[in-house]
Amino acid sequence: MTIATTTQLICFAVLASTVVLGALGVVLLPNIVYSAFLLGGVFLSVAGLYLLLNASFVAAAQVLVYVGAVNVLILFAIMLVNKREDLSAIPGLAVRRLLSGLVCGGLFALLLRVALTTPWALPGPLPVGEEATIRIGEHLFSDYLLPFELASVLLLMAMIGAIVLARRDVFSRDIATGEEVDQALIEKARTPLLLDKSAS
């Protein structure tokens, strides 16, 4: 066993344990802010696993998109809905947790068995290594061109949809001058439609 493979094994062990423990922390910690920061740690460790797999471009995309965008978005959402509320107890919660834990454990056992007993066609073809970014570019502009363009349309749709869903009602009167704003551009003032009926 050479030094290179030993280093690779140690890096993999550290990254994998960070991923698994961080994911457990995300799910189990009671404070959601800690969960959000642990989620960032999980994303960074997954990017490290990609680096171990010779995929520097996807690792960079993972850091940029997940840590830079998704995690920050989740932190913003936590700040915007940050209200300490005592969750009302619901009956059978412990039973539900136990049952879902059993189901997830069974799923894990199934996946473990599949991963360990399948005769994978190893060793496969030689990895391209540093040329991976070039190959991804060739794929994106030749045989995966249609999904690539569809992804751009999907991102545009998601952006417009997020703006429409999350925007607040605008003022019906200009604050500075006091004159009426064009009523066609704004929503009517409305009462919340979905007031909780179970609370009353």
Partner 1 sequence: MDSTPIDVTSLSLADGVPLQAYLVVAALLFCTGVWGLINSRNAVRVLMSIELMLNAVNINLMAFSSYLDGQLIRGQVFAIFVITVAAAEAAVGLAILLSLYRNRETVDMERFNLLRW
Of residues 16-75, those binding partner 1 (CB under 8 A): 16, 19-20, 23-24, 26-27, 32, 35-36, 39, 42-43, 46, 49-50, 52-55, 57-58, 61-62, 65-66, 69-70, 73-74
Q: What is 39-68 written as a DSSP string?
A: HHHHHHHHHHHHHHTT-HHHHHHHIIIIII
Per-residue burial over 6-17, b if 16 or more Cβ lie within 10 Å, else e, is eeeeeeeeebee
Q: Shortest Cβ distance from residue 160 to partner 1 (Å)?
A: 10
Q: Shortest Cβ distance from residue 169 to partner 1 (Å)?
A: 9
Q: Looking at beta carbons only, is 177 or 198 nearer to partner 1?
A: 198
Q: Shortest Cβ distance from residue 107 to partner 1 (Å)?
A: 6
Q: What is the CA radius of gyration of the chain?
A: 24
Count, residues near partner 1 per rule CB under 8 A: 94
State in Å, rounded, how far the first CA of the chain is from the last one. Answer: 69
9 interacts with partner 1 by CB under 8 A: yes
The correct pick among 173, 182, 192, 200 for binding partner 1 (CB under 8 A) is 192
189 interacts with partner 1 by CB under 8 A: no
Within 10 A of 47 (CB to CB), how many other CB atoms are there? 21
How far apart (Å, rounded) are the C-alpha atoms in residues 113 and 192? Answer: 51
The correct pick among 3, 95, 166, 176 for binding partner 1 (CB under 8 A) is 166
Quick one: CA torsion of 39, 40, 46, 52, rounded to 10 degrees?
-150
Coil, helix or strand at residue 95: helix
The correct pick among 145, 157, 181, 186 for binding partner 1 (CB under 8 A) is 157
Structure token digits, residue 130: 């540093």
Q: Which residues ranging from 94 to 153 are in contact with partner 1 (CB under 8 A)?
A: 96-97, 100-101, 103-105, 107-108, 111-112, 115-117, 119-128, 132, 135-136, 139-140, 144, 147, 151
